[in-house]
């Protein structure tokens, strides 16, 4: 009887150890996996660049004499620039879509009183000078606050649409004083 009890006790003891894993698993929180993305229509190239973020345009204004801006409202030295969407080989630029160029009215350099761009040069800024943007089809100043006189929306054809503009000096509040001129406006392309 003692042998049976001993064998049974050893069997239970060995069986009990066999039920435990060789090493106990420990669960620890590992963190998060974050996924981000966006689903959009394919968009057109902007001035032959992929719009993966900002496509900046630089418009150099020709040097002007203060005498050409001697009274409020005087304008000088229009400099052309173009925003071109797509191109003949840009298959992502879908024919028949409507595209508009939109100047962001909340851009910090826009003067809400005139609708033009304030001179934001940090180095020796010229006084009484702003920058006007003109619609290249009508040569009318665009009010950047209201959007008045901007290009009408265009239908994309042959995978392209073009918008021509001019940037020019304009005297505000009296005769312009000499100095540097710089300004910036944000733009967006709206597709429909």
- With pLDDT > 70 as the criterion, what percentage of the chain qualifies? 77
Average the pLDDT over 173-187 and give the result: 94
In angstroms, the Cα distances linking 75 to 28, 79, 117, 172 are 69, 12, 13, 10
pLDDT exceeds cutoff 90 at 173: yes
**Residue 20: strand pairing partners:** none
Q: Which residues contact 39 (CB under 8 A, 6 or more apart)?
A: none
Element (H, E) at 76: strand 75-86
Q: How confident is the model at residue 5 (pLDDT cuts 50, 70, 90)?
A: very low
Q: What is the average pLDDT across 180-189?
A: 91
Q: Which CATH code of 3.30.230.70, 2.60.40.1090, 2.30.290.10, 2.40.33.10 fits the domain covering 66-191?
A: 2.60.40.1090
Q: Which residues contact 43 (CB under 8 A, 6 or more apart)?
A: 51, 92, 93, 189, 191
pLDDT digits (tens, 9 = 90+) for 24-70: 776 565 556 666 555 556 688 888 887 766 788 899 999 999 999 99
- Categorize the per-residue pLDDT at 137 as very low, low, confident or very high, splitting at 50, 70 and 90: very high
For residue 8, the model assigns a pLDDT of: 39
pLDDT in tens, 151-172: 889 999 999 999 999 999 999 9
Q: What pLDDT was estimated at residue 14?
A: 45
Average pLDDT over the chain, rounded to whole? 83
| Rounded Cα gap, residues 47 and 81, in angstroms | 11
Model pTM above 0.85: no
Residues paired with 101 in a beta bridge: 189
> For the chain, which residues make up each domain, given as ranges?
66-191
């Amino acid at each position: 009887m003692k042998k049976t009890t001993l064998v049974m006790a050893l069997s239970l003891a060995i069986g009990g150890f066999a039920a435990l894993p060789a090493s106990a698993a420990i669960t620890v929180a590992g963190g998060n996996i974050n996924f981000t993305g966006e689903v959009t229509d394919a968009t057109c190239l902007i001035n032959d660049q992929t719009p993966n973020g900002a496509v900046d345009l630089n418009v150099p204004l020709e040097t002007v004499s203060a005498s050409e801006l001697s009274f409020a409202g005087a304008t000088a030295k229009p400099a052309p620039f173009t925003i071109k969407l797509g191109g003949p080989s840009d298959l992502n630029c879908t024919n028949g879509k409507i595209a508009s160029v939109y100047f962001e009215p909340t851009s910090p350099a826009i003067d809400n009183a005139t609708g033009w761009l304030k001179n934001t040069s940090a180095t020796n800024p010229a006084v009484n000078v702003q920058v006007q943007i003109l619609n290249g089809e009508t040569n009318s100043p665009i009010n950047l606050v209201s959007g008045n006189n901007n290009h009408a929306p265009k239908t994309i054809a042959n995978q392209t649409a073009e918008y021509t503009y001019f940037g020019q000096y304009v005297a505000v509040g009296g005769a312009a004083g000499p100095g540097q001129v710089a300004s910036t406006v944000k733009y967006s392309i709206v597709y429909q």
